[in-house]
Amino acid sequence: MGKNKLKKFAEMETLERVYQYPFSSLRDGEGCPLRGRWGKEVFGNDNPITLELGCGKGEYAVGMGRLYPDRNFIGIDIKGARMWTGARQINAEGLNNVAFLRTSIHLLPEFFAPGEVAEIWITFPDPQMKKVNKRLTGTHFLDIYRKVLAPGGVINLKTDSPFLFAYTRGMAEHNSLPLVGLSEDLAVNPLAELVPPITTYYEQQWLSRGIPSKYIGWRLPADAQLTEPDLDIEPDTYRSFGRGTLQGF
């Protein structure tokens, strides 16, 4: 591990509203003391809680915290070196309605009580074209999300990937999940009442190359049985930055 990462990890331990729990504490039954108490203990209020999953540097969580002071936001990622950027920002700006949690998305029920989360944002995830169980909008993860979401809570996907957008739309239609909004190109149909005007560094790189940002949001019933759709979707003709060689440009 590089010295720069070690330095970031050390600084993360000193920043407020940054939480890192070793897996051993969950395995040994200690659990997360904030489970069911994030509003009271971390934010000092009972405002709705929104999670940004796979938050990376936390640009979206920080941006939403600035725009919506009457809501609470928690950025979640397994990679602390990325999260360090957003964690420093909220401390520097005194954004008391934003926090960061370093953990695996699979462990969400260990950190949040049933119904504790009002909304989830998934921004520009890896589309996982070959592995459906790794898609953050797949039914495997939806079953995890509804263990912490309030009944009828909203899940939002913003993506550059035509594959993931088509898959998620088909999954929602197949399971009769109520849509709250859909846009194949947010530059043309911005859905301003649903989608915050936040453009991440990663997103801007694709926009500059003519790849539009897409959005789909839906409500997740608490008890409906979810099944995977039988879909034949054309794979993306490019790879995301940092994940391989660009194709098609």
Q: Which of 126, 143, 160, 232 is catalytic?
A: 126
Query: Does the annotation mark 126 as catalytic?
Result: yes
As a whole number of angstroms, the distance between CA 77 and CA 100 comes to: 8
- The DSSP secondary structure of 215-238, one letter per residue, reads EEEEE--SS----------PPPSS
Tell the residue number behind the tokens 């109520």, with chain if given: 178
Q: Cα separation of 229 and 104, whole Å?
A: 26
CA separation for the pair 148, 151 (Å, rounded): 9
156/194 Cα distance (integer angstroms): 9
So which residues are the catalytic ones?
Answer: 126
